[in-house]
Structure 1
Amino acid sequence: MTETNRKPLILVTNDDGIKAGGLVALVKVLKEFGDVVIAAPNESYSGMAHAITVKHPLYAKLVKDKKGLKLYKINGTPVDCVKLAINQLLDRKPDLVVSGINHGANSSISLHYSGTMGAAREGALSDIPSVGFSLLNYSYEADFTKAAEIARDVIKNMLAQKLPQGAYLNVNVPDGNEVKGLKTVRQANGRWVEEFIERKDPRGRDYYWLTGSFKNLEPDATDTDEYVLSQGYASLVPCQLDSTAHALISELKSYETSHK
């Protein structure tokens, strides 16, 4: 197969581990579009954001190798998986990095905590069109049928029209089989109201379990991911690597000093 007519190479990962139902559903769709290489964590790494492993070595075990599909099991975070695949495991740069389908929402501020979205961000850092998919259902028995359909539509468009450099996509899908469609919106302004459950271990030492609830700080806004999800639509939020608050640059000129 020549350079011009070879199939797209799609790198897939997640943060729920190689046995997660969302990964299985996603790979089934991606095989329709090209050759698929899965580089996924050996266990759940939810909430790892953009964490990387620096204190112990990484191991990649080739679990499956057949025409059009390879599966590597890696003892690292989702970002580790993407880094290792791009730099060591693949014989060429992938055409897409796809992460998910996550078990649970990564809308609004949650994308900053998400290992799923960390992996998509890492793909964008290597100038590869990247996307993370999430379903608003935390159960491992969740039905990913509609989320897979949404993923199919998004992947088709991403292959047809490359994202601008530094951009990546965050897609969240409501639970159930009555999803009305997909809306492109902005990230809602929200935050997690965090609480810690305090307990004592058998030796009398205090320990803490993190819990909490999400609070939408703009519940009346109709152009956000939280709103369209509540209306039965999947949300597509375009994200970017540039974290600069551009509107503040001129305002903060007053901070400037000159040292000789």
Structure 2
Amino acid sequence: MRILVSNDDGYSAAGIEALVAALRPLGDITVIAPETNCSGASNSLTLSRPLSVRQAANGFYHVNGTPSDCIHVALTGLLDFRPDLLVSGINNGANLGEDTLYSGTVAAASEGFLFGVPSIAFSLVQREWRHLDCAAQVARELVGRFRDSPWPEPMLLNVNIPAVPYHALKGFRTTRLGRRHPSEPVIRSTSPYGDEVYWIGPVGRARDSGPETDFGAIEANAVSMTPLRLDLTDHSRTEAIASWAGLSMAP
């Protein structure tokens, strides 16, 4: 199996090193990741300047761009093969609920999915890499499952792993995305040059966190597996919008 690996924390992050070490027994690994931390980059592509691809001493390729840049460049010209699977992570922190809209980790996976490559994003829900070995073992198990029983069509899977020892996990759950309260207010500060600047505030607390959600699974120390799709159309409101706008629906 040929596995393409990326992340949003940068090619030198502990999470991607642990992920690659865990997956090496399962196939041929190619790493193409951002040169620097790109957390919160979402699905952005760099269009205002050219991108450079370099190879580190450990064999990892790194790009001076976003996670989506990495996968886009890889799948549209850099690689001379099509990967069987794209794996993104292991992220330093959770990607739950609305986090998925901003996450560079999920964005790398969704870019692969857009090109028809089955893709999985892995995130360790607490920062500072606590129990990273547990997350790596979970990744190895799920990728091993994919190798032995591949999905018949491309999938996009968002996996969040509690920061606990592996023996403390309470199984695996398929979940839906929960919801957060609005983010905390921005934090005002002053630059060394006297300019007023703003830091984005912390994410909001969970407000839809039932047992069937990703928040609920993590609260119960279970691995959360959320299948995602990229169709943003609200099909339930198409007729209502047409009526509101005074338009007739096309046949």
CA distance in 2, matches of 1:59, 1:108: 33
CA distance in 1, matches of 2:194, 2:32: 41
Q: Percent identity among equivalent residues?
A: 36
Match of 2:2 in 1: 9
CA distance in 2, matches of 1:223, 1:210: 30
Q: Which amino acid aligns with 2:153?
A: P
Range that drifts further, 76-85 or 199-208:
199-208
CA distance in 2, matches of 1:118, 1:54: 17
Unaligned stretches of 5+ residues in structure 2: none
Deviation of residue 256 (structure 1)?
5.2
Deviation of residue 229 (structure 1)?
0.3
Matched, 1:109 2:102: no
Task: String of CA shifts for 1:166-195, please: whole Å, max 9, x gaps.
Answer: x30000001020222211011002244231
Matched, 1:56 2:49: yes
CA distance in 1, matches of 2:246, 2:228: 30
Out of 142, 167, 171, the position equivalent to 2:130 is: 142
Out of 109, 124, 139, the position equivalent to 1:120 is: 109
Deviation of residue 204 (structure 1)?
2.4
Task: String of CA shifts for 1:85-125, please: whole Å, max 9, x gaps.
Answer: 11222111111111000000001110111000000000000
Matched, 1:172 2:165: no
CA distance in 1, matches of 2:52, 2:119: 24
Range that drifts further, 192-201 or 177-186:
192-201
Shift in alpha-carbon separation, 1:230–1:36, aligned structure 2, 3 A: same
Range that drifts further, 44-53 or 26-35:
26-35
Contact 2:164 2:221 in 1 (8 A): no
CA distance in 2, matches of 1:71, 1:13: 10
Q: Which amino acid aligns with 2:220?
A: Q
CA distance in 2, matches of 1:75, 1:163: 34
CA distance in 1, matches of 2:157, 2:54: 29
Shift in alpha-carbon separation, 1:18–1:240, aligned structure 2, 3 A: same
Contact 1:150 1:182 in 2 (8 A): no
Aligned length, in residue pairs: 244
Deviation of residue 163 (structure 1)?
5.8
Contact 2:6 2:108 in 1 (8 A): yes
Out of 205, 208, 215, the position equivalent to 2:195 is: 205
CA distance in 1, matches of 2:48, 2:107: 19
CA distance in 2, matches of 1:135, 1:163: 28
Q: Which amino acid aligns with 1:119?
A: A
Deviation of residue 152 (structure 1)?
1.5
Q: Which has the higher strand share?
A: 1
